[in-house]
């Protein structure tokens, strides 16, 4: 999911080596390291301008959260379909959460 988010936000020179991902985005070199598969990434960067780094990370975080929400939504819909449940209504709330009304 990280790679998809990086590509969506214009990451360049993306290199993957094992659990590590290096790239350049908005002119900032970033290295993402995942100590163990399935754990949180650690981020290091080669930029001194902390404001620029903060702005870029904030944009990436918003995109990543959106990707996680979309993947979760699709997974829930798939599981409901496999159990032959019917989604009667879908509502997107003000906070962008999604409420599904399901008949079983």
Which tens digit of pLDDT belongs to each residue from 1-58? 888 888 888 888 989 999 999 999 888 899 999 999 888 888 888 767 888 888 888 8
Is residue 80 scored above 90 in pLDDT? yes
How far is Cα of residue 20 from the mean position of the Cα atoms in its chain? Answer: 16
pTM of the model: 0.66
| Domain count for the chain | 1
- Kind and range of the H or E element at 82? helix 50-82
**What digits encode the pLDDT tens for the residues 62-77?**
888 888 888 899 999 9
- Kind and range of the H or E element at 30? strand 28-33
d(CA 74, CA 79): 9
pLDDT of res. 67: 85
Contact 2, 32 (CB under 8 A): yes
**Cα–Cα–Cα angle for 78, 1, 39, nearest 5°?**
105
Which residues constitute the domain of residue 87? 2-103
């Amino acid at each position: 999911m990280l790679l998809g988010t990086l590509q969506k936000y214009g990451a360049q020179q993306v290199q993957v080596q094992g659990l590590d991902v290096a790239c350049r985005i908005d002119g900032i070199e970033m290295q993402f390291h995942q100590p163990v598969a399935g754990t949180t990434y650690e981020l290091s960067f080669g930029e001194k301008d902390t404001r620029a780094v903060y702005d870029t990370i904030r944009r990436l975080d918003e995109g990543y959260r959106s990707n996680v929400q979309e993947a979760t939504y699709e997974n829930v819909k798939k599981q409901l379909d496999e159990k032959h449940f019917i989604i009667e209504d879908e509502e997107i709330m003000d906070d962008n959460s999604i409420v599904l009304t399901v008949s079983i």
